């Protein structure tokens, strides 16, 4: 036996598949448009539920276009699974009264967690304009939600700053306003370079922000789509990532393995910075998120299935 081998770095041994170091995870879904998509979402939920996420969130389409579908998906999760749903809600295209009504309906149906967002301009417009009589920005929405019920409220944060913010300072000011209004957690826009998060957290600390900041992780299922979306939302795609996916267009299996590797590496670097919670943008597919979670030590729990609860099974 060769005793001269260089030992693996401790943090590597500690993190790979180490159940005792497993992070807390949460998953984001979008509301399905068709029955086929609904079926796929439900298969995804069934697959991911045993990983016992802290919560699962359901997005709200630009301009409130998915209001009914978001609500229906959240209701179904609440009724048919043991998962804790979080409903996204935006300020776009609705009066304060209409938004309050949606929030009240959530509260009454038992939903206790809202992801409160300003939202992007509806299709067809490029510039955001507050709706007349509506909540203008996310901090106002947070304030409004506080009046409706004692919700847990997550808000958005941007390690690379929001594309409309003129500076990092102003962006941090905006996040601080949302926290002061009553936000209890921030979830970040996705990013690929772990150092960006480190620098962001330095600014968060300097601003005296104390709520948990959960990094949003996007496992890359479709690189071309990620490039397009990143351009719109202001997330940078580093050169090494282009190189990583170069030449893999016709090789879906290899591409998937590479995507899982990239996300695991990112999470491990973040864990080395002290991160213990991740929010996964699943895009309604289970495979990549499940694989990444597994490597990070998150294991399936038999008693946390997305099956009808006894209550619903008995009608
Ligand atoms: P805000 O915090 O209100 O900030 C938006 C911009 O306005 C910033 O540039 C800020 O500097 C500026 N601003 C804030 N207050 C003021 C003020 N008083 N005066 C002038 N400027 C101001 N979008 C959806 O449509 N549906 C979703 O379900 C959804 N989910 C998301 C989940 C996460 C985790 C994230 C990170 C984003 C999500 N988005 C969603 C996208 C989000 O709606 C957009 O990024 C939007 O442009 C900003 O939302 P915000 O809540 O950060 O807005």
186-197 confidence digits (pLDDT tens)? 999 999 999 999
The residue whose CB lies within 8 Å of the most ligand 1 atoms, and thus the one to mutate among 71, 118, 136, is 118
The domain at 10-313 falls in which architecture?
A: Alpha-Beta Barrel (3.20)
Tell whether the model's pLDDT for residue 80 goes beyond 70. Answer: yes
User: How do residues 162-189 score in pLDDT, each as one tens digit?
Assistant: 999 999 999 999 999 999 999 999 999 9
DSSP string, 53-107: -S-EEE---GGGTTHHHHHHHHHHHHHHSS--EEEEEE-TTS-HHHHHHHHHHHH
The answer to whether the beta carbons of residues 290 and 280 sit under 8 Å apart is: no
Do residues 267 and 296 make contact, with C-beta atoms less than 8 angstroms apart?
Answer: yes
Q: Which residues form the pocket of ligand 1, taking CB atoms under 6 Å from any ligand atom? A: 59-60, 62, 88, 90, 115, 117-120, 137-138, 156, 162, 164-165, 170-171, 174, 178, 187, 189, 216
Q: What is the pLDDT of residue 120?
A: 87
CA 265 – ligand 1 centroid, Å: 28
| The pLDDT of residue 180 | 98
Active site residue 80: no
Domain range list for the chain: 10-313
pLDDT confidence bin for 311, thresholds 50/70/90:
very low
pLDDT exceeds 90 at position 72: yes
Which DSSP string corresponds to 225-262?
Answer: HHHHHHHHHT----HHHHHHHTT-TT-HHHHHHHHHHH
Banded pLDDT at 107 (limits 50, 70, 90):
very high
| Residue 314: per-residue pLDDT | 40
Mean pLDDT value across residues 71-76: 95
User: Of residues 135 and 313, which shows the higher confidence score?
Assistant: 135
Residue to probe by mutation, ligand 1, list 156, 211, 218, most atoms within 8 Å of CB: 156
pLDDT number for residue 313: 41
């Amino acid at each position: 036996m060769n005793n001269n081998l260089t030992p693996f770095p401790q943090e590597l041994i500690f993190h790979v598949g180490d159940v005792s170091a497993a992070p807390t995870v949460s998953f984001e879904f979008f509301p399905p448009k068709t029955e086929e998509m609904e079926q796929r979402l439900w298969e995804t939920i069934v697959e991911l539920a045993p990983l016992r996420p802290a919560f699962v969130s359901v997005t709200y389409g630009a301009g409130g276009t998915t209001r009914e579908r978001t609500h229906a998906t959240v209701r179904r999760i609440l009724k048919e699974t043991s998962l804790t749903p979080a409903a996204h809600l935006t300020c776009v295209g609705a009066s304060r009264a209409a938004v309050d009504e949606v929030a009240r309906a959530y509260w009454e149906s038992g939903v206790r967690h809202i992801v409160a967002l300003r939202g992007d301009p509806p299709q067809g417009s490029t510039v955001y304009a507050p709706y007349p009589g509506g909540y203008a920005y996310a901090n106002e929405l947070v304030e409004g939600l506080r009046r409706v019920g004692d919700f847990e409220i997550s808000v958005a944060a941007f390690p690379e700053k929001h594309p409309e913010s003129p500076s990092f300072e102003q962006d941090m000011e905006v996040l601080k306003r949302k926290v002061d209004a009553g936000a209890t957690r921030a979830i970040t826009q996705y990013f690929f370079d772990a150092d960006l998060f480190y620098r962001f957290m330095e600014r968060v600390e300097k601003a005296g922000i104390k709520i948990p900041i959960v990094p949003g992780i996007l496992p890359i299922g479709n690189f071309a789509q990620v490039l397009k979306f990143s351009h719109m939302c202001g997330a940078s795609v580093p050169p090494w990532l282009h190189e990583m996916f170069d030449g893999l267009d016709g090789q879906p299996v290899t591409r998937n393995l590479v995507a899982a590797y990239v996300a695991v590496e990112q999470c491990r670097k973040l864990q080395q910075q002290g991160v213990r919670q991740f929010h996964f943008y699943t895009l309604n597919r289970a495979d990549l998120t499940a694989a990444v979670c597994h490597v990070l030590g998150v294991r399936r729990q038999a008693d946390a299935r997305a099956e009808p609860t006894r209550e619903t099974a008995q009608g």
